[in-house]
Amino acid sequence: MLDAGRRTALEIRYAVAAAFRSGGLPGTSETAAALLTDGIVGPALARSNVVRTLPDAPRSQAVAALRDLVQAVELPAGCPAFDAIRTRSDDFRARLEHAGCVEDAPMPGEIASLFGILDEVVARLYGGLDVSVRRPAVHLALGRLHSDQVAGLLDSSALSGSCRWIDGSDLVSVVTLSVRDDAFDWDCACHLPYVLAHELVCHAYQGTAVADGAEPRLQVDGSCAWSEGWMDVIALWLVEGWVRGDQEGKPAWIVQEATDVLRACSALNARRIGAQATLPPIQRSRRIYARRAVDRLLAELDRFGDGDGDADLGGGRNRVLAFSLALNALRLPQSDRDRVVDALGVALETSFGIDRDELIAAVVDFSATGDMVALRRTLADYEG
């Protein structure tokens, strides 16, 4: 967990990112750019480093002093760049109003709100399946990454997500957002929807299908081609649809900077299958193959007819989504889902004619029934 000082440092850096964003200003001049960097953003980031080690009272005083410092910056009137700085500075100061109040809000408010919104989106997706799903209680926790943790995806982001289950009589999923708080910046803010969506859609709701006498949910690891390859595509789709969709409830910076957010999320998603010191080549290869299988299935389901010989050009992604969520919801060991990825990928590469039609029909039928036996029977000829 982040201690109180590092939590406050994260709040300051998040406020800088959300208020000042990538730094672009209308009608900017060297004077305005220098004032923004040297008079506001620079001191704010420096103060975020200081507050980590301060006890409660001095830490609160340091945050208040930062708010006063920003308020005291003199901004000439009548210049678009300075007007923009003034608006962003007011937003920044407002965001610091409750910074450091760990007892009142153990999680930075807007991050907690963003997580809650995405959890509702994911819950509606799983709740809309033909397969009956039991909604888990999902909680968000903050974790700490130290400054030397830069391997793997952490060379591209100061954020990392993980999920664990503490099921009892109820299903409970705990998503941990781990942060290298000394490096949180605008790109990291833009990564937040994707990092959180991945943990929610790929892991928090995994194994939640209702089944009599079902075994406990079985945790997966980073070698799971299904979770880290196939379902990771679904996570990005979810983010793309959400960012481009209804504006209600979203943080203003996501609405106004949607292009930046989507660019950053797509880049981090692509980095997940790039060469990494912490990712064995065989696991990387399996993730890539799983993603290609999603693309092939999408191409087939985009052409899948409605029964009257007409292709449903808008329904392919929805059908892939229904299949993916239904399989992810089943309470299966990691190896079973990975076998489906392998067999389905081979089938999509090698089948044709009637065999291809039967394969696609089996995928659509599975989405409605969750009948793993029938799906495996169709895929049996393609299993190694």
pLDDT along the chain (384 residues), means of 10: 88 96 81 91 96 92 95 89 92 88 69 96 96 96 92 93 93 96 95 99 96 79 96 98 93 96 98 94 97 96 62 74 97 95 96 94 95 96 86
Element (H, E) at 29: none
Contact 107, 4 (CB under 8 A): no
Query: Counting every residue, how long is the chain?
Result: 384
pLDDT of residue 25: 80
pLDDT of residue 250: 94
Contact 144, 6 (CB under 8 A): yes
Q: What is the CA radius of gyration of the chain?
A: 23
Q: Residue 270: what residue type?
A: A
pLDDT of residue 313: 43
pLDDT of residue 322: 96
CA distances, 218 to each of 40, 91, 164, 221, 333 (Å): 49, 44, 10, 10, 6
Per DSSP, helices labelled H in the chain are: 4-20, 30-34, 42-51, 56-72, 80-95, 109-127, 186-198, 225, 231-244, 252-256, 258-271, 281-302, 316-329, 334-350, 353-369, 372-379
DSSP state at residue 292: H
